[in-house]
Amino acid sequence: MRYIYKDDGVVKYIKSEHYNATFNRINGEFLRWGKTYDDDPDLCYFGPELLDIEISSGQCSGNCPFCYKSNESSLPNKYMGFDRFKQLFDTLPPTVNQIAFGITDLDSNPDFWRIMEYSKENGVIPNYTCNGKMVDEHVAEKTAELCGAVAVSYYDKNTCHDAVNHFVKAGVTQVNIHFMLAEETINNAHELIDDISTDERLKGLYGLIFLQYKPHGRGISNFTPIMDLNNFNKMLKYAESKQVSYGFDSCTTPIYLKTIENTAEYQQKLIYVEPCESGLFSYYCNADGEFFPCSFMEGEGEWKTGISSDGVNDFVSEIWYHPRIVAWRDKLINSSKSCNCEQSRVCRSCPHYDAITVCKIDKIQLEVI
Ligand code: SF4
Ligand code: SF4
Contact 146, 101 (CB under 8 A): no
Same domain for 5 and 52, yes or no, is no
Residues in the chain, pLDDT under 70: 362-364, 368-369
Q: Is the dihedral of CA 35, 36, 41, 44 positive or negative?
A: positive
Ligand 1 within 6 A of 251 CB?
A: no
In a domain, 120, yes or no: yes
348 alpha carbon – ligand 1 mean position (Å): 7
In a domain, 202, yes or no: yes
- What CA–CA distance (Å, rounded) separates 128 from 95? 19
pLDDT tens track for 253-296? 999 999 999 899 999 999 889 999 999 999 999 999 999 999 99
Atom of ligand 1 at shortest distance to CA of 340? 1
155 alpha carbon – ligand 1 mean position (Å): 30
* DSSP H helices in 122-264: 137-146, 157-170, 186-198, 229-241, 253-260
| Nearest ligand (C-alpha, residue 282) | 2
Same domain for 112 and 15, yes or no, is no
252 alpha carbon – ligand 2 mean position (Å): 9
pLDDT for residue 66: 86
List, chain by chain if needed, residues with CB within 6 Å of any ligand 2 atom. Answer: 214, 250-251, 276, 278, 293-294, 296-297, 350, 352-353
pLDDT for residue 363: 66
| Ligand 1 pocket mutation, candidates 227, 255, 344, 346, criterion most atoms within 8 A of CB | 344
Q: Please list, residue by residue across 293-321, b when 16 or more beta carbons sit within 10 angstroms of its beta carbon and e when fewer do.
A: bbbbbbebeebeebbebeebeebeeebbe
Same domain for 18 and 77, yes or no, is no
In a domain, 369, yes or no: no
Same domain for 134 and 18, yes or no, is no
Same domain for 37 and 51, yes or no, is no
Give the CA angle between residues 328, 363, 192 to the nearest 5°: 80
Ligand 1 within 6 A of 140 CB?
A: no
In a domain, 78, yes or no: yes
**What is the model's pTM?**
0.94
- What CA–CA distance (Å, rounded) separates 46 from 268? 29
Same domain for 139 and 170, yes or no, is yes
pLDDT tens track for 30-51? 999 999 998 999 999 999 999 9
Same domain for 21 and 159, yes or no, is no
199 alpha carbon – ligand 2 mean position (Å): 33
Number of H helices, E strands in the chain: 11, 16
- What CA–CA distance (Å, rounded) separates 322 from 320? 6
**For the chain, what is the domain count?**
2
First-to-last CA distance in the chain? 48
Report strand pairing: 20-24 vs 30-33: antiparallel
Contact 283, 99 (CB under 8 A): no
Same domain for 84 and 12, yes or no, is no
Ligand 1 within 6 A of 349 CB?
A: yes
Same domain for 7 and 98, yes or no, is no
294 alpha carbon – ligand 2 mean position (Å): 6
CATH, residue 104: 3.20.20.70
Whole domain around residue 27: which residue ranges?
A: 1-41
Report strand pairing: 98-102 vs 50-54: parallel
